[in-house]
Amino acid sequence: MKKKIVVLASGNGSNAERIITFFRENGLAEVTLVITNNPKAGVLERCQRLGVKSKIASRDDFYTRHQVLDWLKNEQPDLIVLAGFLWLIPAEIIRAFRNRIINIHPALLPAYGGKGMYGHHVHEAVIAAKEEKSGITIHFVNEKYDQGDILFQADTLITPDDTPESLAEKIHQLEYRYFPEIIESLL
């Protein structure tokens, strides 16, 4: 029987699409639901094109009405994957799915993590600090931003002519390569 993955995404959804297509090709698992907190997120168009069920959740759905927890309990995923999801996961969801929620962060944690450190903000900070390398961190999700146990890291060198945009592209290549493989190893 195929394993079930639920993806939470807030933005464009390129990592979500990569995960969906990776598991369609290898047959181990299936992304059965994508949840977004952004009604204008590009991930919704990707889901429609790929035939994956999606839902839009409001802040109240997450934190007050516990609707998202109900959706997750109904779906019974083997793994919940945060792929560019920007909200802190409520404690009751973490308790219900302990060690079954992972996130990918576009830097080498513990550096450049925490609230507000996502996407271009991370790359701008790394470039401004004149770091020699950056990378990705895949980690379990706990009650604090980017502080769960680290599962995997991969790095890339930063050249003197890198910009936040060119660094972002290097990071995306690491994400696309390694995120599905780490998910597969966890399943």
Query: pLDDT tens for residues 120-134?
Result: 999 999 999 999 999
Active site positions, annotated = 105
CATH topology of domain 3-186: Rossmann fold (3.40.50)
What pLDDT score does 116 carry?
A: 87
Mutual angle of helices 42-50 and 14-26, in 10-degree steps? 20
Name 4's bridge partners.
30
pLDDT at 9 over 90: yes
Q: For strand 133-140 and strand 101-105, is the pairing parallel, antiparallel, or unpaired?
A: antiparallel
pLDDT at 66 over 90: yes
Give the chain's mean pLDDT: 96
What pLDDT score does 12 carry?
A: 92
Strand order across the 101-105 sheet: 54-56, 29-36, 3-8, 79-82, 101-105, 133-140, 150-157
Residue whose C-alpha is closest to residue 104's, from 178, 33, 35, 160: 178
**What is the tens place of the pLDDT at every residue in 76-118?**
999 999 999 989 999 999 999 999 999 999 999 999 999 889 8
**What is the tens place of the pLDDT at every residue in 143-168?**
999 999 999 999 999 999 999 999 99
What pLDDT score does 128 carry?
A: 95
Please report, rounded to a whole number, the percentage of residues in the chain having pLDDT higher than 90.
Answer: 97
Residue whose C-alpha is closest to residue 172's, from 164, 182, 161, 184: 164
pLDDT at 1 over 90: no
Tell me what the mean pLDDT of segment 43-52 comes to. 97
Tell me what the mean pLDDT of segment 8-19 comes to. 95
What pLDDT score does 184 carry?
A: 96
Query: Residues near 152 by Cβ (< 8 Å), separated by ≥ 6?
Result: 136, 137, 138, 178, 182
